[in-house]
Structure 1
Amino acid sequence: MKTKLFVFVSLFVITAFTNLNCIDYYVSPSGDDNNTGTELLPFKTIQKAADVAVGGDNIYIKEGVYNEHVILKNTKPDLLIIRSNPGDTAIIDGTGFDVYWSGIVDIVGQQNIHIEGLRVINSNGTGFWCDSSRNITIIANSTYNTASSGIAAWNSNSIIIYRNKIDNACSNMSQECLTVAGCDSFETRDNSVSKCYKEGMCFKDGSRNGEVERNIVYDVINKLGIYVDAWDKHTFNINVYNNVVHNCNSGVVLASEMGGLLENIWVYNNILYDNKFLGIDVSYNGDDTTVKVHPIKDVYIINNTVVNNGQEWGGGIANSNRDATNIIVRNNICSNNLSFQIAHEGINPSNMEIDHNLIWGFRDYPDEERGTDYVEADPMFTDTTAKNFHIILGSPAIDAGSPTDAPIFDFEYNLRPYGNGFDIGAYEYYPIGAVEIENDETNIEISPNPFSDFCVIKTEAFADIEIFDSFGRSIIKAKGQIVWEPDFNLSEGVYFVSGRFNNKTLTKPLIFLK
């Protein structure tokens, strides 16, 4: 895929920046802030530990409920880690604190902070708030009953939001359940958002160079699932992929509400089903009538599976933005959506390329399009009732897609293409046993991973090994073993190692850091 990007560093290596001379501090409900903060003599409040700790230190919070507003600080280059004690879940209850335009856990103007395993409840503002900061990781936390966002990052850079769970957020209808605004270089991966009152996830207001990957948003009945909105600033280079959105107002929506340019947005390998209105929408959203232009350009909607969207009205993929240009809709399965499968809703269709999609249930809706090189047939899902949208042997989607700009992996990170061509939809068809390989003789060993200088890739079965970059370009190939020392000019990021064992294929991610 052209212009595909990966963020500068992976969450898997955050501990690599910690100070070996760190001090461990402990917090317990039975502690005392006059203690020394050791495991035997813990502090009573998280704030006391946060005031004492510096970059390179660890704060371990033991099981219990802490009624606090926590302000975290670190300006040093070493990483400050704040986490629940292993095996415990520390709950921070914000009842009684006024944090309307901040959070129960606050990070403002700081750097190099890692938060893990905490639960924040009952905030009259945000749960976790990050503003004007850099190198912040928010990992494996949860929030419940926040008046505004569960997690929000504003005007920051190098932000990782990973494996968090957000429920019952935005009860006062402020902001979005997970908000990233004005941020550069962000990763939002493996998060779950459900049963909330505003948009599930929003990436907006000048955000750029970001990955929105493997998240699930569901049961956000009256608001959309994933929203990318330029607002009034240039917002660009954002990849939305391998996500699931269901039972929301709409699935993935792109917008320029206040006239900022939204540019170079990739939406691929997503599964979008049972939403009230639309699966994917290139929208004309914006309530301010003084804003006359809502510019969106270079949008790539590729290899998504969009099924059963629309209740009283709605459809699969729509472009309703008359100012949008170069909108590519390719290799998508649009099946049994209510009012239409793919439509351009009154705009000039010359601004769109619609090709190689599988359409099932063409409704002859005004401005509905089949496009070119389409397939019109039942996609043959494994089990629609069980929401299993794998395609089965004999599906007309198999080998019917276009290779142009297609992702090199599918929803399950299996390498594309398998067989004679790219499949249509989020899943590439693999015969049973072709991907999940248990035999040690057909395993790929990578060490170390992540790596910075060199890594060793080997198989026991003398298989064909090939490394691809995120554009799908071959970097190196060999048989049996590769000792890979990347050229200095090679970009850091995620690469893919493919091993072919007779007719079987195994693909693993490989992370290169300079």
Structure 2
Amino acid sequence: MIDRRRRPPGAGPVDSSAGVHHGRRTDRVCLLASGFTILTQRAYKEIQTMADIYVSTTGSDSNSGTKDSPFKTILKASQVAEAGTTVHVAPGTYIGGFQTTKSGTTDAPIHYVSDEKWGAKIVPGAGNSKIEAWDNRGDNVIIDGFEIDGSNPQGGTPWLSGIYTTGTNSVVQNNKVHDIVRDSAAINAAHSGGQGGGGILGDGYFGDSNISVNGNVVYNIGPANSTTDLVHGIYMSTSGQVQNNMVYQASGDAISTWHDAHHVKILNNTIFASHNGIMIGGGDYYHTSGPNDHSQVSNNIIYDNDTGIMEFGDTGSNNIYSNNLIYGNDTNLSMKNGKVTGTVSADPKFVKYDPSGNGDYRLTSDSPAVNSGISSGAPTLDMNGDAREGAVDIGAMEYQSTTSTPPAGSAPPSSSVPSTPAATEATAKIVLNVDGTAAGGVNAHFNLLIDGKKIGEGVAGTEAKDFVFTTTVAADQAHKVQVQYDNDSVVNGQDRNLTVNKITINGKAVAPTDSNVTYDKGALDGRDVAPGQADMWWNGTLVVSADKSLFSSSAVTAQAAALPEGADQFDIRQYMVAQASNTVEIPADTSGTASIDLWASEPDLFAATAHLSDSLNEFDAA
């Protein structure tokens, strides 16, 4: 049973620096008082009426905030901003852990914008004391185009949330939020303290409503390879809209609603590789008595998660789930009383699917998501700023028959929206030494995965044997190497088991009992994890947390494997795999070098091997 009773971060903690409760009125007064004490009355009036304020890493908070004399911090700019102000933030790295409190109006919001999309990056500072990267308490505020990067904490209090907003009519759009609460210890501390967290949180704790979360990319939220019920990609506890977002690798729900959530429109999002896709629920109310009702979940792609869409807690009978593509999840739908119509149950056919985020998540021309959405309430533009013309597609990105250039600042040139900048690839040669016991005449079967993606498989006999697998991975990054046993059984008293004796990763031997190895019993879900062990059962998975040094970019280019001297025919495929090489060098007494692409399909591999073998016979010694 999922425990949804904890409050998210920001819901009423005490600010030790101000000595007051985080009610928005009190904090606003304190910040105004401290922010203006160093300004003359004339300077105050000049800055107060500025329509545009500028922030740069080369600026100073003693400056005037003009384009030629920018402030250094977003916090300082926020203290000066008034209704209708645009705060321009230049590209660069800024320290997070600040709170913005000033409010705009419906007609004149305060607009914080990164002048270059994702160019202004917000990171943890040394000795951080705040649980949010950006805590907004102002109404009618827009936070637009920033990168929130929690991947490198500098000590102190870990962030539990990327962007946290409680302001009525606040908008969080076009941001990239990632690597929040990746540390299991931080999760445990948050749980014990009654705190939750996530990538982007729209919270109704102070009675605010109509929060919009649009066009964001949110990923790596919560500890990797584990699940949690309190840390989510996007979290809403009031009314509002969640549209055109891409969310993946969330340990909790990719998009979650709870507490006072109602009238939430969740439209045209793309979600994959998370614990749960979308959760609609209500309970542990702040100001209402529930339930979560009149919410709409339409035109979303929910693919490759544990659960697709679920209702939990108090839900009304007027929630609508229409024209969603739900496919490849362990459980696609778990409903209580919502109305489900128009569900598409088919592979979304992305240009290239990669659960880690390094794929291309645009739709192909034959995708079942094309023209399969409903127009009611759908956003007129997709997450890249392209018009949704004619019949609406399902998902965050509308299919484009020709490559289009998104408007400046709306998206990177590539619509694939990778989780990280394109990385150099490194060769990963994995050698598994395994043996097993049979049951009912069937030997133990296993899969090899890297970061949850299947690389290969094998069948273990009674004698220990090396199995060699070669692939490419992102260079200079840590990876999970996973051995998954998938046919555990007892037949007529015979117990089928698999034993992993050794795992060698690019020449580095790892014992199954080493400290960086764990054993996930049953499903690979992080729920029942024990120290690593050699003997596998319960259809478990042995997980090696391999350091990034094992996948160094300095060793990206594979060396050619020399054929034995004098060989004119050879089983090239097996030899290349055994040598972890993507080229084969012809011996010195022949006239050339041949190579073969190991990423070819299996029939193509054998055909290419035979053709190359024939070619070797035709080489002249000269």
TM-score under structure 2 length normalisation: 0.46
1:308-457 correspondence to structure 2 within 5 Å: 308-309=273-274, 314-322=275-283, 323-337=291-305, 339-348=306-315, 350-364=317-331, 367-368=334-335, 371-385=340-354, 386-418=358-390, 421-433=391-403, 435-436=404-405
Q: Which residue of 2 aligns with 1:228?
A: 202
Considering fraction of residues, name the structure with more helix: 2
Instruction: State the structure with bigger RCO (CA 8 A, min sep 6), 1 or 2.
Output: 1
- Tell me the distance in 1 between the aligned counterparts of 2:80 and 2:126: 18
Q: Does 2:113 match 1:162?
A: yes
Q: 1:317 to 1:90 in 2, by over 3 A?
A: same
1:69-468 correspondence to structure 2 within 5 Å: 74=46, 77-79=49-51, 81=53, 89-90=57-58, 119-120=72-73, 129-130=78-79, 133-141=82-90, 144-146=94-96, 148-149=97-98, 152-155=100-103, 158-163=109-114, 164-168=120-124, 172-181=128-137, 183-195=138-150, 197-204=159-166, 207-222=167-182, 223-233=197-207, 235-249=208-222, 250-255=232-237, 262-263=238-239, 265-284=240-259, 295-309=260-274, 314-322=275-283, 323-337=291-305, 339-348=306-315, 350-364=317-331, 367-368=334-335, 371-385=340-354, 386-418=358-390, 421-433=391-403, 435-436=404-405
Deviation at 1:412, TM superposition (A): 1.2
The residue type equivalent to 1:240 in the other structure is V
The residue type equivalent to 1:153 in the other structure is T
Partner deviation per Cα, 1:213-272 (whole Å, 9 max, x = no partner)? 111101113441110001132x223321111101113211012xxxxxx23x01111111
Question: In the alignment, is the contact (CA less than 8 A) between 2:323 and 2:374 conserved in 1?
Answer: yes
The residue type equivalent to 2:302 in the other structure is C
Question: In the alignment, is the contact (CA less than 8 A) between 1:113 and 1:136 conserved in 2?
Answer: no
Moved more, 128-137 or 186-195: 128-137
Q: Secondary structure at the match of 1:130?
A: helix
Question: In the alignment, is the contact (CA less than 8 A) between 2:55 and 2:71 conserved in 1?
Answer: yes
Partner deviation per Cα, 1:293-342 (whole Å, 9 max, x = no partner)? xx322110001001111xxxx210001314211111001000001x2000
CA RMSD of aligned residues (A): 3.6
Q: 1:53 to 1:383 in 2, by over 3 A?
A: farther
- Tell me the distance in 2 between the aligned counterparts of 1:409 and 1:220: 28
Moved more, 408-417 or 339-348: 339-348
- Tell me the distance in 1 between the aligned counterparts of 2:372 and 2:267: 13
% of aligned pairs identical? 24
Question: In the alignment, is the contact (CA less than 8 A) between 1:105 and 1:127 conserved in 2?
Answer: no
Q: 1:119 to 1:238 in 2, by over 3 A?
A: same
Q: 1:80 to 1:373 in 2, by over 3 A?
A: closer
Question: In the alignment, is the contact (CA less than 8 A) between 2:248 and 2:273 conserved in 1?
Answer: yes
Question: In the alignment, is the contact (CA less than 8 A) between 2:282 and 2:314 conserved in 1?
Answer: yes
Question: In the alignment, is the contact (CA less than 8 A) between 1:399 and 1:424 conserved in 2?
Answer: yes
Q: Secondary structure at the match of 1:396?
A: coil
Q: Secondary structure at the match of 1:329?
A: strand
Q: 1:114 to 1:282 in 2, by over 3 A?
A: farther
Partner deviation per Cα, 1:1-32 (whole Å, 9 max, x = no partner)? xxxxxxxxxxxxxxxxxxxxxxxxxxxxxxxx
Question: In the alignment, is the contact (CA less than 8 A) between 1:218 and 1:247 conserved in 2?
Answer: yes
- Tell me the distance in 2 between the aligned counterparts of 1:82 and 1:138: 6
The residue type equivalent to 1:354 in the other structure is Y
Deviation at 1:393, TM superposition (A): 1.3
- For structure 2, the residue ranges without an aligned partner over 5 or more in a row are 1-34, 115-119, 154-158, 183-196, 223-231, 284-290, 408-622
TM-score under structure 1 length normalisation: 0.55
- Tell me the distance in 2 between the aligned counterparts of 1:320 and 1:390: 30
Q: 1:296 to 1:431 in 2, by over 3 A?
A: same
- Tell me the distance in 2 between the aligned counterparts of 1:232 and 1:437: 37
Q: Secondary structure at the match of 1:429?
A: coil
- For structure 1, the residue ranges without an aligned partner over 5 or more in a row are 1-46, 56-71, 93-103, 256-261, 285-294, 439-514
The residue type equivalent to 2:87 in the other structure is I
Deviation at 1:177, TM superposition (A): 1.1
Q: 1:397 to 1:245 in 2, by over 3 A?
A: same
Deviation at 1:80, TM superposition (A): 7.3
- Tell me the distance in 2 between the aligned counterparts of 1:348 and 1:437: 39
Question: In the alignment, is the contact (CA less than 8 A) between 2:308 and 2:333 conserved in 1?
Answer: no
Partner deviation per Cα, 1:92-131 (whole Å, 9 max, x = no partner)? 5xxxxxxxxxxx7899xxxx9889865559xxxx676538
Deviation at 1:372, TM superposition (A): 1.4
Question: In the alignment, is the contact (CA less than 8 A) between 2:53 and 2:86 conserved in 1?
Answer: no
Deviation at 1:349, TM superposition (A): 5.7
Q: 1:429 to 1:138 in 2, by over 3 A?
A: same
Question: In the alignment, is the contact (CA less than 8 A) between 1:187 and 1:212 conserved in 2?
Answer: yes
Partner deviation per Cα, 1:366-409 (whole Å, 9 max, x = no partner)? 83589211000110111122232111111010111111111111
The residue type equivalent to 1:280 in the other structure is I
> How many residues in Structure 1 have an aligned counterpart in Structure 2?
321
- Tell me the distance in 2 between the aligned counterparts of 1:315 and 1:116: 47
Q: 1:105 to 1:220 in 2, by over 3 A?
A: farther
